[in-house]
Amino acid sequence: MLLPKSNTPRWIVMVIDLFLSAFALIFAYLIRFDLKADEAVIQEEWDILSKSIIVYFVVKFLVFYTFRIHKGLVRHTSTEDLRRIFLASVTSSVIFFVLGLVRFHYVDQYYLLPTSVLLMEFLASFMLLLGLRFFIKLIYLESIKGKNIENRVLIYGAGISGLITKRTIEKSAESTEKIVGFLDDSKKMSGNRLEGLTIYHTAQLEKIIEREKVSKLIIAIQEPDGNNRKQVVEICLKHNVSVQKVPSTKSWINGEFSTKQIAKIKINDLLGRKPIKLGEEKIKGELSGQVILISGAAGSIGSGLVRQIAPYHPEKIVLLDQAESPLYDLQNELKSDFPQLEFEVVIGDIRSYKRMKNLFETFKPRFIFHAAAYKHVPLMENNPSEAVLTNVLGTRNLVDLALENEVYKFVMISTDKAVNPTNVMGASKRIAEIYAQAKNAKNKTKFITTRFGNVLGSNGSVIPLFQRQIENGGPITVTDERVTRFFMTIPEACQLVLEAGVMGDGGEIFVFDMGDSVKIIDLAKKMIKLSGLELGKDIEIKVTGLRPGEKLFEELLAKEENTLATHHPQILKAKIRESELSRADSVHELIELFETQDNMVIVRKMKEIVPEFISNNSDFEQLDNK
């Protein structure tokens, strides 16, 4: 049965509602007389009713119009419509009762409607008005079910969000999906039914996919357990089931969402874990009311730190970066999201000592989070002098000024590529670590280092690159099938940095337990599947060969470093080798070599400072043989 494509005119809905009310009144009289009233009784009742029947319809019309029960879309009747119809019915009955008292005492000693009729008319009218609407809604839902079904869908999450997702899909005229059941992590809910659909436990997923021929899974849990979500997605990818997710409730429009908002799951959701929650009170105690300088504030980690620190109510955050446009965007974001935050935007280059000196004298920071650096391995391999200027000289400037101005803590953001470096970028960061750690002995400032691997979604990382290549139709380029990397989320990285800033006493290198490393080629294959494409048919993967200085496997701790446990099981602490501290003086000599613009001379000096720096697939390998 098909319903009209256009909405029924509102006056027709009003006429039908009045007709149903009249029918309810007649039904109430019939019930009053047990369906056995003779002609004389009917005539007597009509003589009484006929004098007030106009009043009945006028009251019904005015009340229905006031409560706007004719305005709702009948095919989409909701609990809000039910509420309005109930209030309209109650209001009408109350008015009839009051008018009945007026008629009895001041007109002809007859009530507008007998009490029994009044009660039955209320019930019959309410049920008819509501029943018709739900009957039409049922017809509508059945009519849209008759279309071609393209996907058999399983909803992951049997809570409120999952239920709303089911109803949204079923209401959508454009949807070509059939919900076959719910999936949930709770064993207690397994086997129960929700709106006629069975709830299955996640352990049954593979069986359900095969039995119900599931072609799509929608994640409707707002904050799913990271491990469970990963396992569910892995199973779906294995069986070529597409995976989508319901957006955060914050992005729902007026508290509701449409099927158009259901999006494909991203690789970040598969690799990322829950951000670590650490010493909130201690972090707040140290950062609240302090002036905090963040270098590289416009970058992925720098801006993430700003967002993490803002809720702790610092006196001021100084945002230092030379990237004008990203700083401008960050400034606008902070004004919108943190209107009470005091911050200062400083365009400046950490390589300029005079500029940095002026900055320190002007703002007198107590905390420094140093995230500014060049990080791209191939670019730095071709430009060693620039790597030295920014990553080494820039760090030296900030370190020396921190000591001179007696900054309380200096937290340096480093990289896993600084461990047994095979490239110029990693070696430059290792030298920066050595310099900062050596200055820690001065005891004026506590210098702390944090190391982590690749950050999901950061500027220039592999995932945005793969995404662009997929959008362009490929091929996806992988340097080597054996390459593996560690991954972490931006919130995880920022939490680690903040925790290091609080728990560090100076001289430590903090490392986050990042779990297992991930093969980059497997990452590419998963991204292809998550995009709904088929490897070898829709898109190709091309192996291009290792880039200069690139490692097959990254490390977080050098072999000679001692690893110690901390109060948090996911955070390790490594003490720097004392023998390296004496090499800090060589940093000045390295920086002076910039004037030569001789890459071989510069890199040779870097290898002297960091003996474990062994170049890989690079022109600088010849220096390792001498």
Task: Return the pLDDT at 1.
Answer: 44
Strand partners, 71: none
d(CA 131, CA 167): 19
Question: Average pLDDT in the 385-391 region?
Answer: 94
First-residue to last-residue Cα distance in the chain: 87
Q: What percent of the chain has pLDDT over 70?
A: 78
Question: Average pLDDT in the 153-172 region?
Answer: 80
More confident residue, 341 or 535: 341
Q: Find the helix or strand (DSSP H, E) in which 410 lies.
A: strand 409-413
d(CA 153, CA 161): 15
- What the block records as the tokens of 38 is 């003779």
Residue 148 has pLDDT above 60, yes or no: no
Amino acid, single-letter form, for residue 98: V
Cα dihedral 138/140/146/150 (nearest 10) = -100
Task: Return the pLDDT at 281.
Answer: 79
Which residues in 218-235 are b (16+ Cβ under 10 Å) and which e?
bbbbbebebeebbebbeb
Domain boundaries, the chain: 10-144, 151-265, 280-454+488-514+554-625
Q: What are the DSSP E strand ranges found in 439-556?
A: 446-451, 454-455, 476-478, 484-485, 487-488, 508-512, 518-519, 541-543
Question: Average pLDDT in the 590-617 region?
Answer: 89
Amino acid, single-letter form, for residue 356: M
Residue 398 has pLDDT above 90, yes or no: yes
Task: Return the pLDDT at 563.
Answer: 67
- 151-265 and 280-454+488-514+554-625 share one fold: yes
Question: Average pLDDT in the 117-141 region?
Answer: 73
More confident residue, 26 or 386: 386
What's the pLDDT band for 441 if we cut at 50, 70, 90?
confident
Architecture of the structural domain at 280-454+488-514+554-625: 3-Layer(aba) Sandwich (3.40)
* Spatial CA neighbour of 27 closest among 378, 96, 19: 19
Q: Which CATH class is domain 151-265?
A: alpha beta
Q: What is the DSSP string of 11-79?
A: HHHHHHHHHHHHHHHHHHHHHHTTT---HHHHHHHHHHHHTTHHHHHHHHHHHHHHHTTTTS-GGG--H
Catalytic sites, residue numbers: 417
Question: Average pLDDT in the 177-187 region?
Answer: 85
Task: Return the pLDDT at 404.
Answer: 92
Amino acid, single-letter form, for residue 524: A
What's the pLDDT band for 315 if we cut at 50, 70, 90?
very high
Q: DSSP state, 256? A: B
Contact call for residues 531 and 270 (beta carbons, < 8 A): no
What's the pLDDT band for 242 if we cut at 50, 70, 90?
confident
- What the block records as the tokens of 587 is 């940093």
* Spatial CA neighbour of 327 closest among 304, 308, 352, 299: 299
Question: Average pLDDT in the 148-156 region?
Answer: 76
Q: What percent of the chain has pLDDT over 90?
A: 21
Burial class (CB in 10 A: 0-12, 13-18, 19+), 412: buried
- Of the listed ranges 57-71, 205-219, 343-357, the least confidently predicted one is 57-71
Task: Return the pLDDT at 424.
Answer: 93
- 3 state DSSP class of 333: helix
CA distances (Å), origin 373, targets 299, 413, 527, 557? 10, 9, 29, 20
Task: Return the pLDDT at 125.
Answer: 79
Most confident of 135-149, 249-263, 480-494, 584-598: 584-598
